[in-house]
Amino acid sequence: MTTSFFKKAYAGRRILITGGLGFIGSNLARTLVELGAKVTIVDSLIPEYGGNRRNLAGVANGVRVHIADVRDWPKLPRLVRGQDVLFNLAGQTSHMDSMTDPQTDLDINGRAQLAILEACRLHNPAIRIVFASTRQIYGRPDYLPVDEQHPLRPVDVNGINKIAGESFHLLYSRVYGLQATALRLTNTIGPRMRVKDARQTFVGVWIRCLVEGKPFEVWGGEQRRDFTCVDDAVEAFLLAAARPEAVGEVFNLGGPPPVTLGRLAELLVEINGGGSFAVRSFPADRKKIDIGDFYADDRRIGRKLGWRPRTDLRTMLARTLAYYRRELKYYV
């Protein structure tokens, strides 16, 4: 879609982004500010969950920020009132954390999502909602590429709770008429991604090591994955909220042709102009929840909304490396 389409859709509109100081949420906020939207962010800034004020550098004056936890239910009605669109990206993303602390994962990815929807139903039933779901809910694929009809069979607590969060949104759309859409994200890469640890993505750790001149580890190496540039993901969110055909629907996001993790590591070293990595066997606790090969069939969102991934893997990696060469000190 053209910039003029998005400006017409969002200029002057009141937008709420939960988890808006995080990776995708902040990139979304930055684009919405450029489009002339009135952006409000809700973020807990809990250190483990990825929020970072640096993510709004250069646009902070154009964004209202509420430091609040979506688990603090009494605050939600005040936050959702008067908003035109809710981009609901608040969540706990770490698969390992979900296994060691399942109750917290349930509170954030399950109970809090229901509370957000109840606040919308009771206090702003006309709001447009786009929920950030995940490819993790599919589990180990029966076939590739994975389309939206694939069975949902997650391998960890996080995946089960994300199914619940997504299902609540779709249920409230069907039963109460809330205008909700779910996007099932694959591995997303780009500036402002979490690099201090692997809670968001292993690629962040690899990039940090390269920028710091340290070797990194590749576990397994033969698994194939697809990757979405954050700019392309932002476009998908904007389309989903702007197009009435998306209401009540679920869409996969994908990326350029899949690549093995070994090849991804080689490509990163090549783009960086140096660096090294070692291929290791999976740690036992990680192996239990690894899904093997995964890449998405994203043709449905292409047919319905006209979205397609535009950024090739080399370009998204180069942009991300360049960003962290400048900005790493703010993210570690």
Looking at residue 38, its pLDDT comes to 98
CA 85 distance to own-chain centroid: 17
Looking at residue 286, its pLDDT comes to 67
Q: Which helix (H) or strand (E) holds 271?
A: helix 261-272
The structural domains of the chain, with segments of one domain joined by +, span 3-192+227-256+296-311
State phi, psi for 73 to the nearest 5 degrees.
-55, -40
Residue 145: is the preceding peptide bond cis (ω within 30°)? yes
Looking at residue 73, its pLDDT comes to 86
State phi, psi for 289 to the nearest 5 degrees.
-115, 15
Q: What three-state secondary structure class fits 45?
A: coil
How far apart, in whole angstroms, are the C-alpha atoms of residue 177 and residue 332? 43
Handedness of CA 24, 174, 302, 294 (dihedral sign): positive
- pLDDT tens by residue, 21-74: 999 999 999 999 999 999 999 999 987 777 899 999 999 999 999 999 999 989
Looking at residue 98, its pLDDT comes to 80
Looking at residue 289, its pLDDT comes to 65
How far apart, in whole angstroms, are the C-alpha atoms of residue 235 and residue 230? 9
Q: 3-192+227-256+296-311 belongs to which homologous superfamily?
A: NAD(P)-binding Rossmann-like Domain (3.40.50.720)
Calculate the average pLDDT of the chain: 94
Cβ-based neighbour number of residue 273 at 10 Å: 8
Question: Based on the number of CB atoms within 10 Å of its own CB, is 269 exposed (0-12), middle (13-18) or buried (19 or more)?
Answer: middle
How far apart, in whole angstroms, are the C-alpha atoms of residue 16 and residue 85? 6
Q: What three-state secondary structure class fits 189?
A: strand
How far apart, in whole angstroms, are the C-alpha atoms of residue 256 and residue 295? 10
pLDDT along the chain (332 residues), means of 10: 91 98 97 98 86 96 96 94 97 80 92 97 98 96 98 94 97 98 97 86 94 95 95 98 98 96 97 96 71 95 97 98 97 94
Q: Using alpha carbons only, what angle is made at residue 36 by residues 183 and 236, rounded to the nearest 5 degrees?
A: 15
Q: Which helix (H) or strand (E) holds 87?
A: strand 85-88
HSE, side-chain direction, 13 A CA sphere, residue 298? 28
Q: Are 284 and 219 in contact (CB under 8 A)?
A: no
Per DSSP bridges, beta strands 216-219 and 128-134 are unpaired
Looking at residue 174, its pLDDT comes to 98
Residue of 39, 48, 100 whose CA lies nearest to 69: 48
Looking at residue 252, its pLDDT comes to 98
Handedness of CA 148, 151, 155, 161 (dihedral sign): positive
